[in-house]
Structure 1
Amino acid sequence: MVTHGQLMIVCLLLLIAIILFSFSKLRMDIIALLIIVAITITGILTPAEALAGFSDPNIVLIALLFVVGEGLVRTGISYQMSDYILKVAGNNDIRIIVLIMLGVALLGSIMSSTGVVAIFIPVVISIASRTGLHVKKLMMPLCIAGLISGMMTLVATAPNLVVNSELERASLKEFGFFSITPIGLSILVIGIIYSVISRNWLIRSLPTSPDSDHKSRRKMIDLIRDYKLSGRAHRAAIKPDSPFIGRTIDSLHLRSQFGANVIGIERWRKFRKVMIPVTGATVFRENDVLLFDMLNSEENLRQFLITNALEPKVLRGEYFSEQAKEVGMAEVALLPDSALLNKTVKEIEFRTKYFLSVIGIRRNHEAIESSLVDEKLEMGDILLVCGDWRSIQQMQSRANDFVLLDLPTEIDDVAPASSQAIPALLCLALMIMLMVSGIVPNVIAALIACLLMGATRCIDMTSAYRSIHWPSLILIIGMMPFAIALNKTGGIAIVSDWLKTHLSIYGPHVVLMFIFLLCSTVGLFLSNTATAILVAPIAINIALDFGYSPYPFAMTVAIATSASFITPVSSPVKTMIVAPGGYTFGDFVKIGIPLTFLVMAADILLVPVFFPF
């Protein structure tokens, strides 16, 4: 039997969760797991109820959509968009903004909006660099389109699936694949017009981006110049009597002892020499040729080679271009809530975790020329990483810590599954057809698409597992118990009764506006997914108590949670663009508040047309 005391405990836990989310002292997925533990220990929910999210088909569907998105990246489909956009738009900023937003909305309708924005950030940076437009002009429209893309289809974003799941839990008919699309398209038009009108609002000084001196996409040789790496890279072969043979990189402590950072190893395989990526566990062999960078003097370099029985080899200027199919470089920017801040490259074990070496750091647009091993990472730092292209591209899924920026031109020739672009598109088309027709459940349609992508070599198992953004899934799973607990303890009924008393005299449109404002307010502190989990059952319950159809209210929750434009903290879509775009908290407030009210007006006008009260 539930008591008011249990309801107070649930509300207290919810308040604690909001505070923890707001201060960002702990990762959101850790907070979600703590919630599961706390709500179970209090006895309010059984372990089966608290862990119900792990068996929810929508959680599996979200994970599968990450995999589908990775398949589009690996086959090069996503990266071809920047060239197409520039070909059509030229240097016209209005056309570029329109095409970027349409492209993001199109891709975001069938895959995670977080994944789409991660794909388009380097596209936008590349376009800004090639056209001389300020990156702030383009990055905010990218963010707005990423959020609005969640309104395109049922599977476009997690909150839609949460709302749909709540309808199912209430024994109501679920939304169809395109139920939200007409409203989403209308709001997309509003968002595009607003983005065009507001494109210069955040530009206060220079009309060009910080790196606008690069009028075309940079090559690896340009990155070497920008990070002042010339003269630091060396090659050396391991002689038969070298102490390196049979030992791992970690065991030799090359960075701490000699200041040497091994970037790659040339090794003979099947009658040809190939470049292999290195990790801390890589074992050196006789005749391996090391590619390493070293900051020390010529005398120290000579001593390093003699001491370790290494034979110096010629390193020509075009070396990295010749090795571009195996070895790549890329820039990654730290995010504001990155767990890597205030830690050194050595402390975070970057190479062990990400299979890449940090070979340069730029701070305030200036390269750091001292040793990087003990350099503490700061907000706004941009890291130059080096390694195999697969590991570089997988950095896109590390959305909690950093975002992958503009990739050098060499990437165009090394898409790991570029020959499978057509099979990837066919798999995607089949998934959409199955979802629209309803022949099989959505989760099974996505699973079929993933299996076919694997069978046609669009993606491999390692990439598939790494593409899944596990923190997002854990956050959803951890917030689900709140909705169950609020319903079980009578919290939702209390809120519904209070609203029935105070709002019933105003009519359904006012109630709809209240639901939208409630989502917007909660969304200032919680993620859009967590907001949907909390507000969806309240909205549906209010509608049923008032004698209205639950569908316009459930749809409003889906629309409002995607329209979280005001702060940069409630969605990874916004968090990811802060550093690359150079935005402040106030920038989001300035752009977000008018747009939120525009979307609310559109919601109140359009939702009842498609979903009558």
Structure 2
Amino acid sequence: MMLPEEYTALIILAIAIYLFFTEKLPLPVTAMLVPIALSLTGILEPADAFSYFGDRWVVVFMGMFIISGAMFKTGFASVIGNMTVEMAGKSKFKLMLLVMVVLGIMSALLSNTGSTAVFVPVVIAVCLSSGTSPKMMLMPMAFASSLGGTLTVIGTPPNGIVNSVLYESEKYMELGFFEFAKVGIFLFVIGIAYMVLIGYKLLPTGDVEEESPNPKGKEELRTEKMWVAIIIFAFVIISMATGIVDFQVAAMLGAMLTVITGCLTMEEAFQSISWTTVFLFAGMLSMSQAIEVTGAADLIADTLVNVSETPYIVLMLFFLATAVLTNFMSNTATAAVFAPIGITVAESLQVSPYPFVMAIAIGASCCFLTPIATPPNTIVLGPAGYSFKDYFKAGWPLQLLTFIISMIVIPIVFPF
């Protein structure tokens, strides 16, 4: 006796979540096993299961990764980092504020992973010269990177996934470039203010490390191309923000211009792309389609609606479920799983899907409890010598704060 398709899809989903959680397999491998399993079980046609490598948001993120690479390779990101720490002087609180603000803004417009990575050696060097422990600076950096990602549609992969699912539904308009900032700006400002004024007290303290954070030495930068990269970057952001050029066209045109103008070599362009993100994105979007076409989304939606038919309570459940899972598995995968369910639940409750998908996007981005919750969290783990419990101790108040802010702001900005 064969299982109904919706249960088969849920079993595949459960296995994928287990593998993401335990990381018994590399994350991209788990993600690619999903369309394979969906094809073998007949839930999706192979052409459909693997079609998401051509998804418009996969194209956008690939292009933006390359443009980000040009900003780092030409030295512009390093200039911003050095200017920031020079402005802060010897004040560790001013340094924390400036680093969080600048890194958050950079993360909204560039790769938050790359932005964090370029700041790590710069900030550690300042910490060493000023006698401040890197433990006091690097975790706030990672948190600011996640908060900054909530400001734009390209700031973090979950935002792109939410837009992609809205687009695929053919019923709803995608969210605009800065529409995420309607909620994200409150998280960004209040989150940074909390860390600088109160949260720093929960950060671990330690001795100043005497070893270099970059033992391989400084990478040779192509600084003569800096202004070219800045012009390309500005063109892409303005094009996306105004809508004069489609997102995927603008991103890929900008990426190609960085190679044509010599900001990057072709090899450097390929190396700039986070292939883990691409495979996770493309693989798990097939899961999103599967749980929708098989009726699994309706099954989960009915379960949530049975818990409560009050939209506000369901909104809270979506945020909490997304945030909890994301602290232990890929935020890309979590957003891809929950976004179509959010739309289905909204339709069951006969309300707008936008507050639900926004809660899912924010819940998947604002995760501060573990070092594996986000790539920025992972990047600072080694250089600062943090432990797993350091993240939980410093992160749980910020996690709670983002939940409270979101539950207040989302229903106001995106009413049911």
Matched residue count: 413
Q: Which has the larger radius of gyration?
A: 1
Match of 1:473 in 2: 278
Distance 1:450 1:165 in 2: 21
Contact 1:14–1:482 (Cα < 8 Å) also in 2? yes
Q: Does 1:439 align with 2:237?
A: no
SS of match in other structure, 1:199? helix
Distance 1:590 1:106 in 2: 26
Contact 1:44–1:485 (Cα < 8 Å) also in 2? yes
Distance 1:13 1:542 in 2: 21
Instruction: Give the C-alpha shift of residue 81 in structure 1.
Output: 2.4
Instruction: Give the C-alpha shift of residue 573 in structure 1.
Output: 1.8
Q: Does 1:202 align with 2:203?
A: yes
What amino acid maps onto 1:500 in structure 2?
A: V
SS of match in other structure, 1:440? coil
What amino acid maps onto 1:481 in structure 2?
A: S
Distance 2:249 2:379 in 1: 30
Q: 1:203 to 1:572 in 2, by over 3 A?
A: closer
Match of 1:130 in 2: 129
Distance 1:175 1:16 in 2: 31
Match of 1:596 in 2: 399
SS of match in other structure, 1:174? coil
- Which has more helix, going by share of residues? 2
Distance 1:565 1:186 in 2: 17
Match of 1:233 in 2: none
Match of 1:108 in 2: 107
After superposition, the C-alpha distances for 1:194-226 in whole angstroms (9 at most, x for unaligned) are 22222242335x4x4222xx8xxx7xxxxxxxx
Contact 1:82–1:127 (Cα < 8 Å) also in 2? no
Contact 1:32–1:475 (Cα < 8 Å) also in 2? yes
Match of 1:45 in 2: 44
Distance 2:274 2:383 in 1: 21
- Structure number with the bigger relative contact order (C-alpha 8 A, sep ≥ 6) is 2
After TM superposition, the structure 1 = structure 2 runs for residues 207-246 of structure 1, keeping only pairs within 5 Å, are 208-211=207-210
Match of 2:307 in 1: 502
Instruction: Give the C-alpha shift of residue 487 in structure 1.
Output: 1.2
SS of match in other structure, 2:405? helix
After TM superposition, the structure 1 = structure 2 runs for residues 240-255 of structure 1, keeping only pairs within 5 Å, are none
Distance 1:23 1:532 in 2: 18
SS of match in other structure, 1:165? helix
Match of 2:322 in 1: 519
| RMSD of equivalent CA atoms | 1.8
Q: 1:168 to 1:82 in 2, by over 3 A?
A: closer
Match of 1:542 in 2: 345
After superposition, the C-alpha distances for 1:397-420 in whole angstroms (9 at most, x for unaligned) are xxxxxxxxxx55xx5xx42x2012
Match of 1:182 in 2: 182
SS of match in other structure, 2:152? coil
Instruction: Give the C-alpha shift of residue 545 in structure 1.
Output: 1.7
Distance 2:110 2:342 in 1: 26
Instruction: Give the C-alpha shift of residue 607 in structure 1.
Output: 1.5
Distance 1:161 1:203 in 2: 34
After superposition, the C-alpha distances for 1:461-506 in whole angstroms (9 at most, x for unaligned) are 12111111112211121212221111122111011122223311xx
Instruction: Give the C-alpha shift of residue 609 in structure 1.
Output: 2.2
Distance 1:448 1:524 in 2: 35
- Which has more strand, going by share of residues? 1
After TM superposition, the structure 1 = structure 2 runs for residues 135-174 of structure 1, keeping only pairs within 5 Å, are 135-171=134-170, 172-174=172-174
Contact 1:18–1:525 (Cα < 8 Å) also in 2? no
Match of 1:483 in 2: 288
Distance 2:125 2:59 in 1: 34
- Structure 1 gaps of 5+ residues are 219-329, 332-383, 386-406
SS of match in other structure, 2:137? helix
Match of 1:360 in 2: none
Instruction: Give the C-alpha shift of residue 179 in structure 1.
Output: 0.2
After superposition, the C-alpha distances for 1:435-473 in whole angstroms (9 at most, x for unaligned) are 011122101111222232223322221211111111221
TM-score, normalised relative to structure 2? 0.94
What amino acid maps onto 2:369 in structure 1?
A: I
TM-score, normalised relative to structure 1? 0.65
What amino acid maps onto 2:202 in structure 1?
A: W
Contact 2:85–2:99 (Cα < 8 Å) also in 1? no
What amino acid maps onto 1:533 in structure 2?
A: A
Instruction: Give the C-alpha shift of residue 4 in structure 1.
Output: 4.8
Match of 1:94 in 2: 93
Distance 2:332 2:204 in 1: 32
Contact 2:346–2:352 (Cα < 8 Å) also in 1? yes
SS of match in other structure, 2:200? coil
Structure 2 counterpart of 1:463, from 268, 278, 298: 268
- Structure 2 gaps of 5+ residues are none
Match of 1:585 in 2: 388
